[in-house]
Amino acid sequence: MWPVPPTSELMSMLRGAALRVTRPRLAVLAAVHDAPHADTDAIIRAVRTQLGEVSHQAVYDVLRVLTTTGLVRRIQPQGATARYESRVGDNHHHIVCRSCGTIADVDCAVGEAPCLTASDDHGFTIDEAEVVFWGLCPDCSTAAPTSEVRKESPRV
C-alpha cells in the first residue's frame, strides 16, 4: 500500500483530469488511495468520517467520474462487489482469497502491457489483459482444512 498523496497532489490529479476540485472528490480520491480494493460502503464510511454527512449517490457519482477519467480503477472479481483502487495504468492483476475475499495486487506476469498475448485476437487491438488468480490467503490457508474451503465465489 502506498501512502495517501498530500491534498495538493490530489488536487493536481483532479485538475489534470480536467475535473473541478470539490471536497467530495478530494475525500473519495483520498479514501481510495488510503484503502486499496475498498468497496463502496467502506469508501462512504471513510468520506463521512472526513466530511460528515454525504449521500451514497454523491459517492457513487464521484467514483464513476474518477473511474471514467482514469484516476481510479474499478475491479469486480466474479461474485464480488465492485472494488476501487488508485493503482492505474500499469495493467497489474489481482489475487482473491476464496474464503475471506481479501484482494492483493499481482504485477504483470511477463513483459509490458498487455503482458499476455491472446491465442487469437480476432482482429482486436489488445491494450489490456485482466487476470484474476484465486486461492487462499495465508490466514485462511492455515485456519481451515482444505475440505472446508468453498469453491464458489468469495464472501465479499
Q: pLDDT at residue 9 above 90?
A: yes
The Cβ-side half-sphere exposure at 22, using a 13 Å CA radius, reads: 14
Q: How far is CA 116 from the centre of its chain?
A: 20
Choice between 83 and 115, residue whose per-residue pLDDT is larger: 83
Residues in the chain: 156
Give the span between the Cα atoms of 92 and 106, in whole angstroms. Answer: 6
- Predicted local confidence at residue 108, as pLDDT: 75
- Predicted local confidence at residue 155, as pLDDT: 44
pLDDT band at 115 (very low <50, low <70, confident <90, very high): low
Residues 6+ apart with CB under 8 A from 17: 69, 70, 71
Q: pLDDT at residue 147 above 60?
A: no
Q: pLDDT at residue 132 above 70?
A: yes
- The 10s digit of each residue's pLDDT in 13-38 is 999 999 999 999 999 999 999 999 99
Residues 6+ apart with CB under 8 A from 20: 14
The Cβ-side half-sphere exposure at 156, using a 13 Å CA radius, reads: 25
Q: pLDDT at residue 116 above 50?
A: yes
